[in-house]
Amino acid sequence: MLIIDGKKVSQDLKNELKSSVDSYQAITGKVPGLTVIIVGQDPASQGYVRNKAKTCKEIGMISSVIEMPSETTEKQLLDTIHELNNDPAVHGILVQQPLPEHIDEFTVNLAVDPSKDVDGFHPENLGCLVMGRLDKCFVSCTPYGILELLGRYNIETKGKHCVVVGRSDIVGKPMANLMLQKLDAADCTVTVCHSATQNISFYIKHADILIVAIGKAGFITADMVKLGVVVIDVGINRIEDPATKSGYRLVGDVDYEGVSAVASAMTPVPGGVGPMTIAMLMKNTLLSFQRINGL
């Protein structure tokens, strides 16, 4: 079985991005700038933000983090976003989610300038994705990373049956739309399964490419997939493991040990899709920089 190594691909991509950033700096004297806003003290969110800032530094981009208290009002957050929209040194704006309950995420997504929405959450970017105008939008980072993995590993996708398990706005829906597009690493027939799908095993069993993002540890088992399937596991779940120092370990939505004996290619967890998400955020930020500066 082929292990689709997101850790290696993300590092290759970051090296390529650094080379591009260095070249643009030499030509223009400018570098891309990413600003992340975090509201509240959620430990997981803080960890993600640190990783994003660290990756920016590795590539040579400018990283700014705006930390706002959990009692920040929606208006205060929107005012901050508006300032960043009008700042020419900021090429990418990311509002770390989840947000406190009193702040509406859709309103916040709508406030970010689509030309700086490097997370790909603005309705304008999602609409362009649905219409196949990838040259006019930013694609959500996790689906974009999966497409990059399929392309770099030369996985045959044209005309294949791709089953996406999960319908979230962040992964499932954009992933399904991306795999429908006439692209080298897409051009599939797509089925979307979710919590209300009846006889879900029937659809999964017919997948040539299976992309799973439902947040249920080990949900997909070997008896549910067909021989030779390509499996992309987006899930990251903590399960107790007394044998580890931390007392837990990370697993995906797919039973890796069982399914890897049947699959032709598969992403591990961790080290598969996860590393690609931040790498694609950096790629989107560079793309924004190129568009804004006419490069």
CA distances 95 to 85, 118, 233, Å, are 13, 10, 25
Residue 179 to residue 10: CA distance in whole angstroms: 20
Question: Residue with structure tokens 């997981």?
Answer: 44
C-alpha Rg value of the chain to the nearest Å: 19
- Which DSSP state fits 254? B
How do 189-193 and 209-212 pair as beta strands? unpaired
Catalytic hit among 119, 208, 233, 255: 119
Choosing from 14, 96, 116, 283, the catalytic residue is 96
Distances (CA, A) of 92 to 121, 125, 163, 184: 12, 14, 31, 27
Helices (H), 99-155: 105-111, 123-130, 141-152
Residue tagged active-site, from 52, 116, 173, 283: 52
* Distance in angstroms (rounded) separating the CA atoms of residues 15 and 279: 10
Catalytic annotation present for 119: yes
- 241: annotated active-site residue: no
Q: Which amino acid is at 293?
A: N
Q: Give dist(CA 260, CA 233) in Å, integer.
A: 11
Q: 115 is written with which tokens? A: 């030309």
Which residues are tagged catalytic?
52, 96, 119
